[in-house]
């Protein structure tokens, strides 16, 4: 198996790959010790039936540039095939602000082809290629050199089997006319907003039991400081302080270092220096936040007047429609969305794009009393009213 360690060799491979309709791509990376993923290996394969058209690219090699790879990513004549591409795409976007175009994600494609929600690569290889994937090297340290033969074989298998998986799914999509379904899903993966974490928005990921605006103002400032500090130093946010410590700090509201030292959940590094000073400033900023600038808790669901009988009917309709379409029900609409529809809301994902075609249109007609549900044998069917 070939390992590329020079820019010239990478350029040669990418020039050759540009003559093919697609190339499969995967990465190995580490993120336990950094905020941003550290790219350790890139696997690439052109169409073929053996390992001869596949390579390993070592991004940790001295003086190598990934620009030839990014040029291939920009080449719209070559489909770039990934499985569960989100983390891979984040790496390339952060490094070079580039997205592979056109993109094909076999996990997304498998989802709309009836393989279930978030189906794993091993499952697809087993069902489509009738082969197994050796996962013994999955959790190894990919930053260490040299890589073992077992690591290389494991990494290469992630792009060689992917060729057959891609060809199978692409054919299925063409037969079913669901290419547009996949394209809609991929717009999220290729949006910069998916990978940009805004510090002032980070508080929305923190779970709290208190919805007091002033309390949430301190949570917002503490989360923003943590995000900025972690990004600027490229360290995991939980190494600054974890969510439970953040909530504790917002409750304690320390105004000086002595009061800060009483926090039980704060790590030792957070009790001194820049982190301690940042915490105290964040608390002060949250306390002094004007009322009109405080976060407003989302109480929209508390006011929903859900019709429970209608919600149950929508669940039956969803099950019937997704079984007919061969897609996972959760992919169309989770239970919370069904409750919102039953309460009269319409701005939910199930009412947009291909989901509306599969389920949303009939859901609206059911809510309006234009259709009913009936049982025929073991099937549930829609009947006009």
From first to last of its 385 residues, the chain has per-residue pLDDT tens of 799 999 999 999 999 999 999 999 999 999 999 999 999 999 999 999 999 999 999 999 998 999 999 999 999 999 999 999 999 999 999 999 999 999 999 999 999 998 988 899 999 999 999 999 887 788 889 999 999 999 999 999 999 999 999 999 999 999 999 999 999 999 999 999 999 999 999 999 999 988 899 999 999 999 999 999 999 999 999 999 999 999 999 999 999 999 999 999 999 989 999 999 999 999 999 999 999 999 987 666 666 788 899 999 999 999 999 999 999 888 899 999 999 999 999 999 999 999 999 999 999 999 999 999 999 888 898 999 8
Question: Closest Cα to residue 197, out of 23, 36, 354?
Answer: 36
For residues 37 and 167, state if they share a domain: yes
190 and 207 part of one domain: no
**231 shares its domain with 341:** no
The reported pLDDT for the residue numbered 134 is 81
Task: Name the DSSP class of 147.
Answer: P
Q: How many Å apart are CA 244 and CA 266, to the nearest integer?
A: 9
The token pair at 46 is: 């052109």
Token duo for residue 261 = 């030292």
Domain limits for position 57: 2-194
pLDDT at position 66 is 98
Task: Please check whether residues 95 and 239 belong to one and the same domain.
Answer: no
User: Are 360 and 223 contained in the same domain?
Assistant: no
270-305 b/e (C-beta count within 10 Å ≥ 16 → b):
beeeebbebbbebbebbeebeeeebbeeeeeeeeee
Chain-centroid distance of CA 53 in Å reads 29
Q: Residue 32: name the closest of 235, 267, 240 by CA.
A: 235
How many domains does the structure of the chain reveal?
3
Residue 108 token pair: 């997304």
51 C-beta neighbours (distance < 10 Å), count: 15
Q: What is the DSSP string of 283-303?
A: HHHHHT--GGGS-----TGGG
Domain boundary among 174, 194, 214: 194
Those residues with Cβ within 8 angstroms of residue 190's Cβ, 6 or more apart along the chain or in another chain: 89, 99, 101, 103
Task: Name the residue among 335, 345, 292 with its Cα closest to residue 315.
Answer: 335
Q: According to the model, what pLDDT value does residue 139 have?
A: 83
pLDDT of residue 103: 98
């Amino acid at each position: 198996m070939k390992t590329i360690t020079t820019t010239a060799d990478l350029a040669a491979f990418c020039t050759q790959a540009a003559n093919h309709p697609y190339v499969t791509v995967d990465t190995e990376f580490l993120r336990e010790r950094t905020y941003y993923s550290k790219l350790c290996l890139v696997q690439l394969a052109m169409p073929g039936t053996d390992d001869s058209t596949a390579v390993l690219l070592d991004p940790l090699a001295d003086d190598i540039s990934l620009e030839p790879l990014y040029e291939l990513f920009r080449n719209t004549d070559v489909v770039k095939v990934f499985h569960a591409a989100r983390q891979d795409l984040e790496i390339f976007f952060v490094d070079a602000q580039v997205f592979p175009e056109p993109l094909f994600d076999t996990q997304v494609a498998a989802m709309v082809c009836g393989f279930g929600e978030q189906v794993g690569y091993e499952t697809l290889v087993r069902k489509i290629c009738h082969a197994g994937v050796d996962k013994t090297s999955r959790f190894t340290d990919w930053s260490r050199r040299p890589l073992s033969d077992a690591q290389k074989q494991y990494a290469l298998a992630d792009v060689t089997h992917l060729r057959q998986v891609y060809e199978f799914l692409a054919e299925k999509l063409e037969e079913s006319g669901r290419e547009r379904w996949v394209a809609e899903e991929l717009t999220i993966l290729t949006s910069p907003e998916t990978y940009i974490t805004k510090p002032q928005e980070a508080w929305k990921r923190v779970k709290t039991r208190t919805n007091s605006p002033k309390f949430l103002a301190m949570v917002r400032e503490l989360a923003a400081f943590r995000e900025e500090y972690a990004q600027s130093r490229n360290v995991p946010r939980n190494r600054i302080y974890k969510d439970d410590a953040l909530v504790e700090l917002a409750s304690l509201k320390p105004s000086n270092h002595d009061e800060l030292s009483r926090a039980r959940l704060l790590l030792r590094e957070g009790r001194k220096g820049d982190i301690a000073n940042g915490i105290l400033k964040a608390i002060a900023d949250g306390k002094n936040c004007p009322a009109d600038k405080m976060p407003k808790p989302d109480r929209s669901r508390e006011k929903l007047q859900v019709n429970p009988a209608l919600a149950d009917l929508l669940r039956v309709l969803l099950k019937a429609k997704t079984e007919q379409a061969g897609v996972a029900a959760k992919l169309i609409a989770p239970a919370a969305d069904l409750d919102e529809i039953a309460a009269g809301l319409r701005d939910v994902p199930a009412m947009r794009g291909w989901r509306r075609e599969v389920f949303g249109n009939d859901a609206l007609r059911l809510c309006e009393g234009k259709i009913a549900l009936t049982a025929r044998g073991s099937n549930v069917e829609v009947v006009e009213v």
